[in-house]
Amino acid sequence: MSSIEKDIHYHIYQRSISNKEVYRCIDPDCKHYQPKREFLVGKRARCVKCKELFIITQKQVKAGHQRPGHKDLVCLTCSNSKKGKILRIVETQLEGILADLSKENNPFNSNGGGI
């Protein structure tokens, strides 16, 4: 167990409704906010949806420019639904392959014919 990981708090960013430059951390115990979104680029943050760590890209911060209102900063898997879908398909396929493999390993042909 690394105590470092426990001590470091990664912010969970959500854009302010009134000011699209401002992102705040939605953690109830954290008062952090970022007044300039350009400073978020390259920072490690926690995904609002899946709570996984990711690095914020310039594309993500700029993507919210057109649409007003709330914007959660999510990881690539959560922001790109197409990619997320493909990932899920691959995952289920892998599970199937692994299940087949474990079937083959069953002691099916171990002296089943008797004497």
Least spacing, CB of residue 78 vs Zn ion, in Å: 3
Are 23 and 34 spatial neighbours (Cβ–Cβ below 8 Å)? yes
Minimum CB distance to Zn ion smaller for 17 or for 87: 87
Residue 17 or 30: which CB sits closer to Zn ion?
30
Measured from the CB atom, the residue of 8 and 30 that comes closer to Zn ion is 30
Q: How far is the CB of 63 from Zn ion (least distance, A)?
A: 15
Strands 23-25 and 44-46: unpaired
How many other C-beta atoms lie within 10 A of the C-beta of residue 69?
Answer: 10
Least Å from the CB of residue 71 to Zn ion: 14
Return residues touching Zn ion (CB under 5 A): 11, 25, 27, 30, 32, 47, 49-50, 74-75, 78
User: Helix, strand, coil % (nearest 5) of the chain?
Assistant: 35, 15, 50
CB-count burial class (<10 Å; 0-12, 13-18, 19+) for 14: middle
Q: Give the residue with the Cβ less far from Zn ion, 43 or 49.
A: 49
Minimum distance, C-beta of residue 83 to Zn ion, in the bound complex (Å): 11
